[in-house]
Amino acid sequence: EFKPLVFSGVQPTGNLHLGNYLGAIRKFVALQANNDCIYCVVDMHALTAQLVHEDMPGQIRSITAAFLAAGIDPEKHIVFNQSAVPQHAELAWIFNCVARIGWMNRMTQFKDKAGKDREQASLGLYAYPSLMAADILVYRATHVPVGDDQKQHLELTRDIAMKFNMDYMEHIRRAGYGIDITVGDEPVHAYFPMVEPLIDGPAPRVMSLRDGTKKMSKSDASDLSRINLLDDEENISKKIRKAKTDPDGLPSEIAGLAGRPEADNLVGIYAALADKSKADVLAAFGGQQFSVFKPALVDLAVHVLSPITGEMRRLMADPGHIDTVLRDGSARARARAEVTMKQVRDIIGF
Ligand code: ADP
Ligand code: NA
């Protein structure tokens, strides 16, 4: 079997928010205890929607600072930025040739991000999931902690791995690089593993505070829609007080959240921050009004986030230190990625 290896990435575009924290970064931290982990600031992905960025180095440092402030250990694990390891782009080209256009056409994130005028979207935005597959598989990673919005991209990663394994099966066998795995009940001689998404917890998709049907996102025009990791107590309090709700109070049972996306979202956020289930939260607050629940949520959010915010600010005041962490992490990532790429080139015949 493949040795368990965790990989995930976050784009250096705009403010990190509570969705990034609960959907991704908090899981990154927890997984360190029992796994070898590689965490990446995916700066090449940041070009897919927008070519010119005001302060790319600052954005990269800010995500790195969030990783470190949340508790990622860059010495035991690897923290680096994608563009410093060109093997990602090299494998992505090969995957562009493995992936089928029909597969890419099914990607809902592309449809959302491209908007109405799809002819004007970049080829990079279209190929984004192929680069994401390369990010993961260039380390032959097996587990990927992400938010629920990335589920479809991970299915595509498995499809790409499977097609590569099948198409090059004889070459993989001849070179002696493969291992025997089972996929479903089928035995497969594989070079790339079938990645497992790690998408769980009470808030796998944190929704906007202004519209319970949209995910909380860096790209939402309204700052009131999200809690940023750099927001102070006053901002957090304002945003939660103004968060959209319906006129009813909190139900005592999960079933009472059905058809109430805003209420469901706030209960999910509370549960995730408190490390409890939604049922536990409703057992405590069922029957109460939002005028009681919201202040409790503000206190909890401030309690969890303010130490991270403080540490992020402290780290960002010393850019030299962050750059050293990234340089060291990139060198270690490059060495590991090159082991895979030497074998992949050999399998292909380059
Ligand atoms: P964004 O979608 O805000 O641009 P990224 O694409 O950089 O952020 O996502 C970084 C990580 O955060 C991914 O693992 C993604 O699944 C997760 N994530 C982003 N938004 C949310 C959300 N609203 N709820 C849960 N997880 C999220
Ligand atoms: Na995303």
List, in order of start, the domains of the chain with CATH numbers: 5-202+319-348 (3.40.50.620), 223-315 (1.10.240.10)
pLDDT higher than 90, residue 200 = no
Q: Are 142 and 195 spatial neighbours (Cβ–Cβ below 8 Å)?
A: yes
- 170 C-alpha to center of ligand 2: Å? 36
d(CA 234, CA 238): 6
Phi, psi of 206 (to 5 degrees): -80, 130
From 3, 27, 76, 113, the catalytic residue: 113
From 215, 239, 278, 294, the catalytic residue: 215
Quick one: average pLDDT of 225-236? 97
Question: Catalytic residue at 113?
Answer: yes
Question: Catalytic residue at 276?
Answer: no
pLDDT higher than 90, residue 204 = no
pLDDT band at 109 (very low <50, low <70, confident <90, very high): very high
Q: Which amino acid is at 100?
A: R
The number of the ligand 1 atom at minimal distance from the alpha carbon of 11 is 7
Q: What percent of the chain has pLDDT over 70?
A: 100
- 193 C-alpha to center of ligand 1: Å? 24
The four Cα atoms 130, 134, 137, 138 give a dihedral, to 10 degrees, of: 170
pLDDT band at 264 (very low <50, low <70, confident <90, very high): very high
Which ligand gives the minimal distance to the CA of 7?
1
Q: Which amino acid is at 280?
A: D
Residues 6 or more apart whose CB falls under 8 angstroms from that of 34 comprise none
pLDDT higher than 90, residue 83 = yes
Among 20, 82, 222, 225, which is best to mutate for testing ligand 1, by the most ligand atoms less than 8 A from CB? 20
Ligand 1 binding pocket (C-beta < 6 A) is 10-11, 19-20, 23-24, 146-147, 149-150, 205-206, 215-218
What integer pLDDT is reported at residue 114 of this predicted model?
Answer: 94
Considering only CA atoms, which residue is closest to atom 19 of ligand 1? 20
The number of the ligand 1 atom at minimal distance from the alpha carbon of 204 is 25
Q: Are 12 and 46 spatial neighbours (Cβ–Cβ below 8 Å)?
A: yes
Q: Beta strands 143-145 and 186-190: pairing type?
A: unpaired
Quick one: average pLDDT of 27-43? 97
Among 63, 143, 149, which is best to mutate for testing ligand 1, by the most ligand atoms less than 8 A from CB? 149
Quick one: average pLDDT of 311-334? 98
What integer pLDDT is reported at residue 14 of this predicted model?
Answer: 81
Considering only CA atoms, which residue is closest to atom 21 of ligand 1? 19
- Annotate 247-289 with DSSP letters as a single string: SS---SSGGGGTT-HHHHHHHHHHHHHHT--HHHHHHHHTT--
The token pair that represents 66 in the structure block: 């969030």
- 281 C-alpha to center of ligand 2: Å? 27
pLDDT higher than 90, residue 323 = yes
Considering only CA atoms, which residue is closest to atom 16 of ligand 1? 147
Lookup result for tokens 């080139």: 345
The token pair that represents 54 in the structure block: 């005001």
What integer pLDDT is reported at residue 203 of this predicted model?
Answer: 80
- 292 C-alpha to center of ligand 2: Å? 32
Considering only CA atoms, which residue is closest to atom 4 of ligand 1? 218
d(CA 224, CA 243): 8
For the stretch 89-103, pLDDT in tens is 999 999 999 999 999
Q: What percent of the chain has pLDDT over 90?
A: 94
pLDDT higher than 90, residue 52 = yes
Eight-class DSSP state of 192:
S
- 259 C-alpha to center of ligand 2: Å? 24
For the stretch 113-123, pLDDT in tens is 999 999 999 99
- 251 C-alpha to center of ligand 1: Å? 28
Among candidate residues 82, 75, 60, 71, the one with its CA nearest the CA of residue 8: 82
Considering only CA atoms, which residue is closest to atom 10 of ligand 1? 10
Per the prediction, the chain carries an average pLDDT of: 96
- 15 C-alpha to center of ligand 1: Å? 11
Considering only CA atoms, which residue is closest to atom 15 of ligand 1? 147
The number of the ligand 1 atom at minimal distance from the alpha carbon of 147 is 16
pLDDT band at 202 (very low <50, low <70, confident <90, very high): confident
